[in-house]
Amino acid sequence: MKEFFRELFRTTLYKPNQGRIVRQLTAAGIGIVLLAGVYSLFEYLRFGLRGFPGNWIDWINGWLLYFGLAGLGRNPSTEGWIREFVRYGLPLTLTLISLWVAYRVVNMPRFADFLIAVEAELHKVSWPTRTEVIRSSIVVLVTIFGLAFVLYTFDFFWRLVFHWLNIL
Q: Which of 35-39, 57-61, 110-114, 149-153 has the highest mean pLDDT?
A: 149-153
d(CA 79, CA 28): 37
d(CA 63, CA 71): 9
Provide the whole-model pTM.
0.61
Check whether 120 has a pLDDT greater than 70: yes
Distance between first and last Cα of the chain: 63
d(CA 111, CA 118): 10
- Secondary structure letter of residue 108 according to DSSP: S
Residue 66's pLDDT is: 74
Cα dihedral sign, 98-104-108-113: positive
Check whether 52 has a pLDDT greater than 60: no
Average pLDDT over residues 11-19: 83
96 vs 58: which has the higher pLDDT? 96
How crowded is residue 112: how many other Cβ atoms within 10 Å of its Cβ? Answer: 22
Residue 93's pLDDT is: 92
**Confidence band of 87 (pLDDT split at 50, 70, 90):** confident
109: Cβ contacts below 8 Å, ≥ 6 apart: 7, 14
